[in-house]
Structure 1
Amino acid sequence: MVHVLNTTDFSSVPISMTWLLFIVGAMVAGFVQGLTGFAFALIAMSFWVWVLPPQIAAPLVVFASVWSHIISLSNEQKHPHLNKTLVLPYLIAGLIGVPLGTYLLHIIQPETFKVVLGIFLLLWCPVMFFSPAFPRLQQSGKLADSLIGFLGGILGGLGGFCGSLPSAWVMLKNLSKQQQRYVLRHFNFGIQLFTLLAYLLQGTLVIQLWPYMAILLISVSFPAILGAKLFYKISETQFKHTVLSLLFASGGFLIFNTLL
């Protein structure tokens, strides 16, 4: 029997606060993914990890991320100069990595999950914030892209974090804003859709999760539409710095809370 949104065996947070964190996390993450094409899992988990074990949060975050991608893609403007060859090396390798991530999901402990997520956020955010230039990385080819895609697939299977490494990579490669969003949006959608199917086949999407999936459909939809429409109107640099600051603080709080 799966305990869904039951804090008695995972957190001392009251039920009302659990629902608040669950819904607010979904709304904020939906908006950010609609705007940037990635980071749903990172932001949602920054809220949900306090009240949900990873075995419950992971399938919910993947489901909500897939839904927000569907909404965002339906509101995306067409760009003829962007084509599938840009994202295929990431996507093909990422699909290979997903099964390993879904396997790790069933053996990882909640406290370990918190520490790993917190450390990753503390290391990843400064790199993304300063965006240092590395000429050799900018000249790297499809093999390096495939390796990043494979690692992203593992993180996707582990809990929907497939966009974390690719987002840092495409920025370090100094791709244009449109290219970055194109790679991240289509890679994340493909990997998370495959991960969702893997969860379904493995029995991870148990019937007890369905009511909360319905709530996610409502909570994510409008913020994702708003984010997708604001992409072409808001300064990417300012928004990126705001999001990274929030994620960095979340990583610090996760580590602090775990070590107490």
Structure 2
Amino acid sequence: MTSQEMTFLIIGGLAGGFINGLAGFGTSLFALGFFLTVVPAVEAVAITVAISVVSGLQGLWIVRHSLTQNPRRLARFLFPAILGIPLGVASLKQVDVSVLKYLIAFFLILYGGFFTFRRNLPKIDRPTPFIDCTIGFCAGILGGAASLSGALPTMWCSMRAWPKYETRAVLQPFNVTVLALTALVLAWGGAYHQRTLLQLCIAMPSAILAAQVGIIVFRRLTDDIFRRLLIAICLISGTVLLLREIL
């Protein structure tokens, strides 16, 4: 393994771990580009998924109390998503994934761009169980079809007037569960062979360390700033996704 490969693996781990520790999601959009520079696509995705899960497990600890306070809220997102993942995988032969990614990128940019520069953020504080279940189900389909399970829940949760810990108590376990299932599928397909595990051993320590730094920053954010951060990340994520598809 060359020094260039090691450098990009470490930088990717740092970028992905930090954003996961800070926001509870976004590892793929911030780390995958670095990994793809030196690693084949399947291996890069396998590494990204693994560090997403490990970084996410660290983040789960800081929202453990919020998880136990409102488990039904998380269940409304998570259980429909698990049902949607197989449908997303099954639709791969019928759906043009590139068109789907362009569509999601467009909505992320539109949503993030519109609300990033607004003084007042939307505050939906009434219970919306049907919408929560629908968002979760659609997110599961997008996850199975294009590995974009986090887009819809992030946009929806950033519109809710929830404290930052409650918001993260939905996003973090949601993404960890979906990505853990993805990792199992990749492992079943043989993605984690000897070379991938070696690359993972190089990227993982930096991801774990950076996630801890991101968690420290998260603790210092106010609820309002955290919501604005989620919206800004939607804008950045949409832009990165669009540029990746174009290039």
Q: TM-score, normalised by structure 1?
A: 0.73
1:145 maps to which residue? 132
**2:52 paired residue number:** 65
Distance in 2 (alpha carbons) for counterparts of 1:112 and 1:19:
33
* Structure 2 residues not aligned, in runs of 5+: none
> What whole-Å deviation, never above 9, does each CA across 1:186-229 have from its counterpart, x for those lacking one?
21122211221222223344443211221222121111112223
- Are 1:223 and 2:210 counterparts? yes
Question: Does the 8 Å contact 2:43/2:192 carry over to 1?
Answer: no
Aligned length: 245
Deviation at 1:52, TM superposition (A): 5.6
> Which has the higher mean CA deviation after the structures are superposed, 151-160 or 207-216?
151-160
1:178 aligns with 2:165: yes
Classify 1:182/1:75 alpha carbon distance in 2 versus 1 (closer, same or farther; 3 Å): closer
Amino acid at match of 1:41: S
Instruction: Point out the more displaced range, 107-116 or 150-159.
Output: 107-116
Structure showing the higher helix proportion among its residues? 2
- Matching residue within 190, 197, 221 for 1:203: 190
TM-score by length of 2: 0.76
Identity of aligned pairs, percent? 25
- Say if 2:21 and 2:55, in contact at 8 Å, map to a contact too: yes
The answer as to whether partners of 1:82 and 1:182 remain within 8 angstroms in 2 is: no
Distance 1:205 1:182 in 2: 29
Give the alignment's Cα RMSD to 1 decimal: 3.8
* 2: CA distance, partners of 1:152 / 1:183: 13
**What are the superposed Cα offsets for residues 228-256 of structure 1, whole Å, 9 maximum, x if unpaired?**
23322134555665676576456546645
Instruction: Label 1:216 to 1:176 Cα distance change in 2 as closer, same or farther (>3 A).
Output: same
CA distance in 2, matches of 1:257, 1:34: 23
In structure 2, relative to structure 1, the CA distance for the partners of 1:225 and 1:256 (3 Å cut) is closer
Structure 1: which 4+ aligned runs deviate by more than 6 Å?
Answer: 104-114
Q: Distance in 1 between matches of 2:39 and 2:95?
A: 14
For 1:206 and 1:104, the matched residues in 2 are separated by: 27
Q: How does 1:96-107 map to 2 (within 5 A)?
A: 96-102=83-89
- The answer to whether 1:78 aligns with 2:65 is yes
Cα drift, residue 60 of structure 1: 2.1
Aligned AA (1:189):
V
